[in-house]
Structure 1
């Protein structure tokens, strides 16, 4: 089998398995439609810590420990860790995972980080560089608001296009040990910039990148939309979903019948007041683990395309009037019988 496929994709001859996964979320996420599916729901969004940033590090610690334990492994069995978050210099990751002393690749793909981590982890295992790796990420509503928008005490109004940063961490153990799910291919996304400057409309900023990588994936693999049970984006929300559908139709693919979005699934937007839906690195990570992986593992779905999406801005770029580029990474997950 040819490993390099098309312009941006890989098809794994020795497809690595997703051996286990874990999802840990905050109180608001636990009150949403998927509340009873997460492994752990916190009663206190500070998770017993003094600061929001320490709370997010605790999310990563607990998700890592739970995923490794569910895989029947020990920390010392993990060769590499691929992880990142939204905070400056990835401090949720570095402070959260340093005690484990596992070799770490710190990642930043904004809210696409789960896809980036899964892609790199799968490449590592498939190439024989590691028997077991962990791919994970996190976000926290309060730490993200504090860094990117306003202090919580400010109580600012949010436009309907705004998404709600998920408090949560998702972790995945990848390896050669057989399980019921495999990563059979990936398509790595490019930075796509349509000139959006509204940081309160992340869906519009990220949708072009999602469309670009989905269309490229289908072209690279020579597949049709009907070859997938679901195409799942990370956190476009309701606004970004409509834009995505228009863009993919323009690219020759109508994905509307099989598309869903983690940001739409994780909250009841009307009842919970979450605007266009959920976002943040943790959004796609915990929703895939708690909800979509079950459909694959139980054989209800045979193949999905998981496409986390990220907005590549910082407080500096926003304050200097720069645009909000987007990126997305596509991961093919299949039932392994």
Structure 2
């Protein structure tokens, strides 16, 4: 009997795991954004001393994991499992980093929803008594994503106003079975939702229906309302996707305007940095959470947070074959103890 599952899609943790430490590393453009003071490291060069952008992204992830573990005054062998993923074919950023770190790996692909998916699975392992310490991590890189999903940078293609800028960065969260950090109390696993969007330059529209579905399901399953959270923040809908999600939530009977924003909106200053609709990528919600949001939780400026990472589940092959773009969103409730 699934005693920890409530409602349709939500897990309630009986021994909520603690997020003991976090780490975040970003590229130069992200370091010029409004959240610059909250990252552990800002790169001067997005090649990060490597010969390719792909290897630079893998190094980002490896370094973020290493920093998070060292912040917890632990060593690599102290970690039971590494859980993570990225946007590249066969998860090469994650798997090459895991190769170097020599950590047991759960490799995940949820597109840009992967960060909350990783934390969710880590929390299940900890709450179930299968591990004591896990590291959840994701990465993305503007240049690797452009090369794989869109056009070679050398072509200089013009970007549409609805397009988003893939974040160069990696975030890592160290979860433990006990600790004084913020705790993961609920996890709502998303369903794949597809309303027929086919424009690869409008990811926000493709992901917004899944975000609205997951948020509505979470609130229904838990019996909570939007007002029970200090902040509800999606992963990378961007400003247009966020507006669509707000309208879809209204149809579900929930109004979430005042305390609802998006990591892709917060990470860049779109007017000064020319990022159009905002940020995206597996690293988007990861670095915003592991940098800015985690700090706000520790300072108790935010006491209850609903983080909803969103992903567009398409590939160059499916797009070229005329398929639509399915979306998915996973949610975690993160709370400070003693609320």
Instruction: Name the TM-score class by shorter chain.
Output: over 0.9
Shift of 1:2: 4.9
- Which residue of the partner structure matches residue 203 of structure 2? 202
Q: Secondary structure at the match of 1:111?
A: coil
- Which residue of the partner structure matches residue 311 of structure 1? 312
Structure 1 residues 210-248: Cα deviation after superposition (integer angstroms, max 9, x where no partner):
000000000000111111000010000011011000000
Runs ≥4 residues deviating over 4 A: none
The TM-score, its normalising length taken from structure 1, stands at 0.99
Over aligned residue pairs, what C-alpha RMSD do you find? 1.0
Q: Secondary structure at the match of 1:15?
A: coil
- The CA distance in 1 between the partners of 2:60 and 2:208, in whole Å, is 28
Matches within 5 A, 1:108-123: 108-123=109-124
Would the aligned equivalents of 1:68 and 1:74 in 2 still touch at CA under 8 Å? Answer: yes
Shift of 1:301: 1.7
- The CA distance in 2 between the partners of 1:27 and 1:119, in whole Å, is 30
Kindly tell me the number of residue pairs found equivalent between the two proteins: 337
Would the aligned equivalents of 1:60 and 1:97 in 2 still touch at CA under 8 Å? Answer: no
Would the aligned equivalents of 1:60 and 1:138 in 2 still touch at CA under 8 Å? Answer: yes
- Which residue of the partner structure matches residue 163 of structure 1? 164
The TM-score, its normalising length taken from structure 2, stands at 0.98
- The CA distance in 1 between the partners of 2:174 and 2:180, in whole Å, is 11
Shift of 1:12: 0.6
- Which residue of the partner structure matches residue 29 of structure 2? 28
Q: Secondary structure at the match of 1:252?
A: coil
- Which residue of the partner structure matches residue 56 of structure 1? 57
- Which residue of the partner structure matches residue 182 of structure 2? 181
- The CA distance in 2 between the partners of 1:327 and 1:243, in whole Å, is 15
- Which residue of the partner structure matches residue 322 of structure 1? 323
- Which residue of the partner structure matches residue 262 of structure 2? 261
Shift of 1:69: 0.3
Structure 1 residues 128-174: Cα deviation after superposition (integer angstroms, max 9, x where no partner):
10000000000000000000001111110001100000000000000
Would the aligned equivalents of 1:225 and 1:253 in 2 still touch at CA under 8 Å? Answer: yes
- The CA distance in 2 between the partners of 1:245 and 1:2, in whole Å, is 32
Unaligned stretches of 5+ in structure 1? Answer: none
- Which residue of the partner structure matches residue 237 of structure 2? 236
Shift of 1:297: 1.2
Q: Secondary structure at the match of 2:332?
A: strand
Shift of 1:100: 1.4
Shift of 1:289: 1.0
- The CA distance in 1 between the partners of 2:56 and 2:126, in whole Å, is 31
Would the aligned equivalents of 2:21 and 2:181 in 1 still touch at CA under 8 Å? Answer: no
Matches within 5 A, 1:1-337: 2-337=3-338
Q: Select between 298-307 and 160-169 the one with higher mean Cα deviation.
A: 298-307
Structure 1 residues 89-122: Cα deviation after superposition (integer angstroms, max 9, x where no partner):
0011111221211110100000000010000001
- The CA distance in 1 between the partners of 2:242 and 2:34, in whole Å, is 19
- The CA distance in 1 between the partners of 2:5 and 2:113, in whole Å, is 22
Q: Secondary structure at the match of 2:70?
A: helix
